[in-house]
């Protein structure tokens, strides 16, 4: 995957936009269409204390609501740490939104003030689909894109 070109294109598409949902929609589309192993790409937004609700995504249906206390997305929101899970069946409390999912990468998304907006969730039908290189690409990209959101 060409991370440099993807970042350049995404930053050009999102330049000047401050609406978090518009940014999430654009990133979900771009990342989904560029990452060869992501079968589901989307955001879960913080909508209440300790609660995530589905946001913009690409792929089949996702879970509508995920509490911070459950699943890979909940763990990322709760701990503020990246969750790169090579085998979701081995993750305690995994929520199977799609029975075909084998691996998952979830990254907390914050605005420039440090407020948790939600999480970016990439799911794959391939075991161990996501790499440290994916993390190293997405973390600074998300920080830059969501820096000016409320």
Q: What is the pLDDT of residues 69-88, one digit of tens each?
A: 999 999 999 999 999 999 99
- What CA–CA distance (Å, rounded) separates 83 from 28? 18
- How high is the pLDDT of residue 13? 97
Q: In whole angstroms, how far apart are CA 101 and each of 7, 87, 91?
A: 26, 9, 12
Question: How open is the CA angle 3-134-118, to the nearest 5 degrees?
Answer: 110
Question: Token pair of 147, please?
Answer: 């820096």
Residue 97's pLDDT is what? 82
Residues 61 and 17: their CA atoms lie apart, in Å, by 27
pTM: predicted TM-score of the whole model, two decimal places: 0.96
The highest-level CATH class for domain 3-145 is alpha beta
Q: Check residue 112 and report its DSSP letter.
A: T
Mean pLDDT across 1-17: 96
* Overall average pLDDT of the 25-47 stretch: 97
Residue 95 has pLDDT above 90, yes or no: no
For 116-144, the pLDDT digits (tens) are 999 999 999 999 999 999 999 999 999 99
Structure tokens at 25: 């929609």
Token pair 């090579």: residue: 86
Here the contacts of 21-26 (C-beta below 8 Å, separation 24 or greater) are 21/45, 21/55, 21/56, 23/145, 23/146, 23/149, 24/55, 24/56, 24/118, 25/56
């Amino acid at each position: 995957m060409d991370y440099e070109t993807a970042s350049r294109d995404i930053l050009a598409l999102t330049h000047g936009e401050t609406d978090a949902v518009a940014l999430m929609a654009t990133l979900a589309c771009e990342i989904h269409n560029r990452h060869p192993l992501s079968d589901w790409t989307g955001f879960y937004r913080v909508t209440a204390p300790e609660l995530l609700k589905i946001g913009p995504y690409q792929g089949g249906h996702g879970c509508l609501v995920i509490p911070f206390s459950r699943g890979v997305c909940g763990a990322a929101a709760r701990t503020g740490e990246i969750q790169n899970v090579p085998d979701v069946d081995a993750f305690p409390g995994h929520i199977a939104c799609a029975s075909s999912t084998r691996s998952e990468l979830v990254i907390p998304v914050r605005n420039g003030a440090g407020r948790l907006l939600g999480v970016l969730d990439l799911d794959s039908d391939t075991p161990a689909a996501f790499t440290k290189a994916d993390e190293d690409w997405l973390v600074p990209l998300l920080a830059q894109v969501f820096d000016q959101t409320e």
